[in-house]
Chains A and B, each alone.
Chain A
């Protein structure tokens, strides 16, 4: 197992190198001049020159790249061009926020997706199945930003039930924290619930067709037990794997959700950074999400092995 993980990590290295190249190239390609953005309304030429020098923006691109990679390898991701805050600090302070959002959204998605998937697989072809499908697909089909604003208008403004936006650290006020996160988590989670539901459904359908389900029924087990023990247990293998991979999608979804609900997380950080041409932040954050993504992939594979006795024992 360790060996396997080791190999997977080795494979991740070239991926990370390509990611770093991609990120670097991508933002060099972005139109606009970070210094102009930084220099503010007055655009003092002296200041422009100074900033160019300071952030080595006049160096040849390869030099810039290696300088960045060099310091990144020592754990120094540079400082934000906009606010002077070290990028690592930014990442560290935003990560928990996005993670909280992602986890809560995941809970929403799981809580909706899995039961709905099971029910619609078991009741395949019935009205229940179609209803569950359409509801799940609705989650997927409504643009996040629209749903978000609708919810704010309705729940926060009209009914004044939940705070409209913002973020309160759980350490400060847990209840308020949860209250602020409910809507964003719901918006983000419903999008994922659909795909989770679809996958659960098809995994369940696949499993329900398999011979060992027939065996279980031949033993006289009752439907409930057959479904919840024999079928679900096996269907969980692909679902668990998928759920970890969905974190990537969560992160992407978080970009817009955080934008709408003004949640100071990763998504907002990176979008702002892209628009402000805050190179150091863009590079650092994308690299960090890429590492996260690769880690999630690895986790998915490991989980796959762990929940799958067939593989677990050969480990």
Chain B
């Protein structure tokens, strides 16, 4: 019998194209989280064009006005429109989260990949260095780094990114160790694929999902960290707003002008919640064990 006859054995294929997507869409918290994040990102992108007022220019005639038709979110201690500042601040806060996590991933993943894949002394040295960085509390590390680099939003992002990096090294490394043992990696070696290509085509794509999930969760941490650095004067620089720095100023007016803290506080809360929900949802959607 000819081998082509075997085609006959192929009856039909199940149609299961976007299983991940449909699982994701079924996951309520992921969808809610995704919607919140999307909303804020939209606000960050187009917000500045919609802002009714200049977010920077003080107006001494309208200091600390409560929310009204004129000023939806009220005004701050220098008479600036809170709503406009919130829109502008979204950009800084979200950037702080996304960029710093991007930095952490861009640096952490290659290190983790190399450590996990090659093992031996390379692994040992990278792992020890990672342990050492983890041993210094995250925020202390970020504070010291940010202070070293000088206070600016960019530097805060770099500092947070570097401080978050070891988590990704560790996560990637662990993940690589699992993936490395998979048959398909051995299969790639069996056809003679060089290590570099195995890492790029086999290991990397398969370690990425949990890293992306961790990434969304770390974005949340990073946004809070930026707020904390702002609290210590090491984040977004005045007069430019970030939610963290607005909150930091607002806490001095907690009594007289509660709206000054309620809006940025809730925004941070919501977006962090959004990223957390999204991350959790992604985790469930990407986890083959979850139904």
Contact = CB atoms under 8 A, between A and B. Distances in A.
Direct contact of A and B (CB under 8 A): yes
B18 to A, nearest CB: 21
A143 B132 contact: no
Contacts of B131: 12, 15, 18, 294, 297
A30 B136 contact: no
**Chain A interface helix/strand/loop/mixed:** helix
A271 B137 CA distance: 12
A223 interface: no
A142 interface: yes
Q: What 9 A-B pairs are tightest by C-beta distance, nearest first?
A: A18-B132, A252-B137, A141-B272, A290-B135, A293-B135, A15-B131, A29-B148, A19-B132, A141-B273
A31 B147 contact: yes
B139 A30 contact: no
A235 B193 CA distance: 40
Nearest to B275: A141
A262 to B, nearest CB: 15
Contacts of A18: 128-129, 131-132
Interface residues of B, number: 44
A230 B137 CA distance: 36
B280 interface: yes
A138 B289 contact: no
Interface residues of A, number: 51
Interface in A8-45: 11-12, 14-16, 18-19, 22-23, 26-27, 29-31
B28 A146 contact: no
Contacts of A11: 128
B58 interface: no
Contact of B220 (A23, A141, A144, A205): A141
Nearest to A297: B131
Given A31-B148, A137-B276, A146-B261, A255 B231 contact: no
13 contacts: A12-B131, A18-B129, A18-B132, A22-B133, A26-B145, A133-B277, A133-B280, A138-B273, A141-B224, A143-B231, A146-B227, A248-B137, A290-B132
A256 interface: yes
B135 A146 contact: no
B214 to A, nearest CB: 12
A109 interface: no
Contacts of A255: 137, 139-140, 143
Given A133-B277, A138-B269, A294-B135, 11 more contacts: A138-B273, A141-B273, A143-B224, A143-B247, A146-B227, A153-B255, A205-B290, A252-B137, A256-B231, A274-B147, A290-B132
B78 interface: no
A312 B290 CA distance: 30
Nearest to A12: B131
B134 interface: yes
B137 A251 contact: yes
Contacts of B138: 249, 252
Instruction: Tell which of A15, A30, A143, A248 has the most Cβ of chain B within 10 Å.
Output: A143
A293 B11 CA distance: 58
B228 interface: yes
B199 interface: no
Contact of B144 (A27, A206, A209): A27
B210 interface: no
A209 B287 CA distance: 14
Contact of B29 (A16, A130, A142, A249): A130
A128 interface: no
Contacts of B276: 137, 140-141, 194
Interface in A102-160: 130, 133-134, 137-138, 140-146, 149-150, 153
Interface in A237-261: 248-249, 251-253, 255-256
Interface string B269-291: 11011001100100000000110
Interface in A73-94: none
A198 B276 CA distance: 11
Q: Which of B29, B140, B227, B290 counts the most A-chain CB atoms under 10 A from its CB?
A: B140
B272 A140 contact: yes
A140 B220 contact: yes
A133 B29 contact: yes
Given A19-B135, A248-B134, A274 B144 contact: yes
B136 A145 contact: no
A141 B267 CA distance: 10
Given A18-B132, A26-B148, A198-B280, A289 B137 contact: yes
B92 interface: no
A283 to B, nearest CB: 11
Interface centre among B129, B139, B232, B277 (most CB of A within 10 A): B139
A266 to B, nearest CB: 9
Given A146-B265, A209-B289, A289 B231 contact: no
Contacts of A31: 147-148, 150
